[in-house]
Amino acid sequence: MGQPMAQMREDVSRSLALNKDLQRLVERALQLDQGMKVGWSRDGEPNPKQGEMGIAPGLPSGARLRMLGALKDCVGAFSTGGSFTLEGHAGDYFGAWNNGGHISAERGVGDFVAHSMSSGRVVIRDGAGNDAGSCMSGGILVIRGDCGNRIGGGMSAGDIIIHGDVSHEPGVGMSGGRIIINGRCPPIPNGVKMSTLSTADCKKLNSEMADPTLEIPADAVCLVVDNNSMVNPVLPQRKNSGSWDGIALVNSGGSNPPKHSERDTMVLLGERGGECEALGLPLPLLPMREDGKGLNKGRVSKQPFLVRTNPRAIDLVLLDEQNLNQAANLLKEAGGVVLDISAIPSLNSARLDGLIVSLKGLVGEDSPIVLLSDLDDVERLHLLSANSDVDACISRLGDPSGRTAASALPLIGRSAAANSLARDGILLGLELDWHATAHDLAIACSAGCKMVICNIPVTGVTAINQWLEEQAANLEGWLIQLGIVSIDQLTRKHLRAINNETAATSGLRLSGYGRPLPHWFAS
């Protein structure tokens, strides 16, 4: 049985408060060139932390932190060069996405330690769970004690050193790097072979660790890639979801205010019941762009974008498997986060809580956090959103199944209703695989999705300004046509299917018929 939700929320609150204190301590310690100790009283008596998560994210170069306690998930993640030592044990994703830090735990840790580490060092002195060092692309992971299944799975570079026994499938799916085992090793999977560690390499690694208790013996087993038996899986290609050409917008008999009435197209992200200052989207749109640099003229200066590099204070950063280990640097100036959870293996509510605490420690506690995943993952996406402190969740259209865009609408609507997302103030959104028009924005809002992500068809700032102006004018035009003054008044009653195929896949009322098909209501 997991922890009660109330206890989990209390742990999250304590963790956020601790990270806020740590940020202040780190800044002061760096100025004085001092280390920090947390978990002891001023008299030096043990006062260990208990149950905190997501602690000490993104420690910068020069920061030195020692902590006493039994912590939960995602501790010491996203480090960019600092030093963190835990006198105690931790949960999953300890030292994950490390990018140059020296992270260590005196006791054992859970699953996915040093996951996706690109550089730096992680040292565990009392064993680790499953998937240690998975997806590493650099750095050194050292574990004294036994490890679970799939150690080094999917790694592409770096070194993993184990002073103990390893369990099933060591190195499965690895494409580079080395796994050095000073202990018992089970039968190895396809794509992996046993090799010998040269005397020079052994001497070099021992010199780098500078710890006699962790020295590698000459007869240690070394696992490397076997290119002759390696299988490279080919993932199925995503199929275009089509468009909403088969869906019409109709006036459902509203109050029909004067055409000169002001029209509200604003979406507020991150209100949280009025507790935080919300990020305003002038349109129900978050345009995607690789780089936020240069977006400083006209309408684009007030329009938040979803970017991967150089975010402005109003932009959200898209974090996925390609750039998660850069999160500490990317979020320094950003206004919020869109986290692609499809990039994170075996994510559950407890692990997500730790990850969110870490990200808020980097971007700011009041900044919006948005989850993104594929349409075929919508039920898990909504369940995780309902159980975590997020502001919105977005489903990505287009997947290998070939599911149409129209069929996505009732699928998202039913799942959102089952998880009470509207009650909790969690916005729904869609990532379209085509360039959205004002007509598309109105359809999405009518279906309950108040935020649309899409690429834009133009590049220059002047052209982007013009495109945004066109979308704004056309969206206001649709509100006039539909007899309403706000996108908040758009409901499913404004949608009609204009052909039998769209009606069959979407469950929308077929134009000319009064009742919808049961797609929106079926359990």
Q: Yes or no: say if 205 and 159 are a contact pair by the CB < 8 Å rule.
A: yes
pLDDT digits (tens, 9 = 90+) for 108-128: 999 999 999 999 999 999 999
Query: Could you give the residue ranges of the DSSP H alpha helices within 106-225?
Result: 199-209
Q: How confident is the model at residue 512 (pLDDT cuts 50, 70, 90)?
A: confident
Give the closest residue to 397 by CA, choosing from 465, 460, 443: 443
294 and 148 in a common domain: no
Asked whether residue 236 is assigned to any structural domain, the reply reads no
pLDDT digits (tens, 9 = 90+) for 329-342: 999 999 999 999 99
Asked whether residue 306 is assigned to any structural domain, the reply reads yes
280 and 357 in a common domain: yes
258 and 204 in a common domain: no
293 and 164 in a common domain: no
pLDDT digits (tens, 9 = 90+) for 68-104: 999 999 999 999 999 999 999 999 999 999 999 999 9
pLDDT digits (tens, 9 = 90+) for 341-362: 998 999 999 999 999 999 999 9
pLDDT, average across residues 19-41: 94
Of 151-155, 186-190, 268-272, the range with the lowest mean pLDDT is 268-272
Is pLDDT at 144 greater than 60 in this prediction? yes
The token pair that represents 522 in the structure block: 């079926």
pLDDT digits (tens, 9 = 90+) for 434-463: 999 999 999 999 999 999 999 999 999 999
Q: What angle do helix axes 349-363 and 5-32 make, rounded to 10 degrees? A: 30
Is pLDDT at 323 greater than 90 in this prediction? yes
CB-based contacts of 63, cutoff 8 Å, min separation 6:
26, 29, 30, 36, 81, 82, 83
Is pLDDT at 5 greater than 80 in this prediction? no
**Average pLDDT taken over every residue of the chain:** 93
Query: Could you give the residue ranges of the DSSP H alpha helices within 46-178?
Result: none
Is pLDDT at 520 greater than 70 in this prediction? no
Distances (CA, A) of 165 to 159, 170, 222, 310, 447: 17, 11, 13, 44, 54
144 and 267 in a common domain: no
Asked whether residue 230 is assigned to any structural domain, the reply reads no
Number of domains in the chain: 2
pLDDT digits (tens, 9 = 90+) for 461-507: 999 999 999 999 999 999 999 999 999 999 999 999 999 899 988 98
450 and 304 in a common domain: yes
Structure-token match 């999250």, residue found = 12
507 and 403 in a common domain: yes
Is pLDDT at 211 greater than 90 in this prediction? no
Instruction: Examine the fold and report which residue of 225, 258, 285 is the final residue of a domain before the chain moves on.
Output: 225
H/E segment holding residue 269: strand 267-269
289 and 149 in a common domain: no
496 and 383 in a common domain: yes
Asked whether residue 337 is assigned to any structural domain, the reply reads yes
Segments forming the whole domain that contains residue 120: 5-225
CB-based contacts of 447, cutoff 8 Å, min separation 6:
409, 412, 413, 492, 495
What 3-state class would DSSP assign to 247?
A: strand
pLDDT of residue 259: 83
Is pLDDT at 521 greater than 70 in this prediction? no
pLDDT, average across residues 48-59: 96
Give the closest residue to 115 by CA, choosing from 166, 158, 162, 146: 158
Residue 67 CA to residue 426 CA, distance in Å, equals 35
Instruction: Examine the fold and report which residue of 190, 225, 260 is the final residue of a domain before the chain moves on.
Output: 225
pLDDT of residue 213: 87
Q: Yes or no: say if 103 and 120 are a contact pair by the CB < 8 Å rule.
A: yes
Indicate which CATH number applies to the domain containing 54: 2.160.20.60
pLDDT of residue 185: 94
pLDDT of residue 1: 37
Indicate which CATH number applies to the domain containing 452: 3.20.20.70
Asked whether residue 322 is assigned to any structural domain, the reply reads yes
Concatenating the DSSP letter of every residue in 197-231 gives --HHHHHHHHHHH--GGGPPPTT-EEEEE-TTT--
Q: Yes or no: say if 83 and 61 are a contact pair by the CB < 8 Å rule.
A: no
pLDDT, average across residues 196-224: 90
Instruction: Examine the fold and report which residue of 194, 225, 256 is the final residue of a domain before the chain moves on.
Output: 225
133 and 21 in a common domain: yes
Q: What angle do helix axes 461-482 and 438-446 make, rounded to 10 degrees? A: 50
CB-based contacts of 467, cutoff 8 Å, min separation 6:
456, 457, 458
CB-based contacts of 112, cutoff 8 Å, min separation 6:
92, 93, 96, 129, 130, 131, 132, 134, 345, 346
509 and 375 in a common domain: yes
H/E segment holding residue 374: strand 369-374
326 and 196 in a common domain: no
CB-based contacts of 205, cutoff 8 Å, min separation 6:
140, 159, 161, 180, 216
How much of the chain, in percent, has pLDDT values that exceed 70?
Answer: 96
Asked whether residue 133 is assigned to any structural domain, the reply reads yes
Q: Yes or no: say if 52 and 13 are a contact pair by the CB < 8 Å rule.
A: no
Asked whether residue 26 is assigned to any structural domain, the reply reads yes
Q: How confident is the model at residue 514 (pLDDT cuts 50, 70, 90)?
A: low
Q: How confident is the model at residue 400 (pLDDT cuts 50, 70, 90)?
A: confident
Asked whether residue 235 is assigned to any structural domain, the reply reads no
Is pLDDT at 430 greater than 90 in this prediction? yes
What 3-state class would DSSP assign to 17?
A: helix
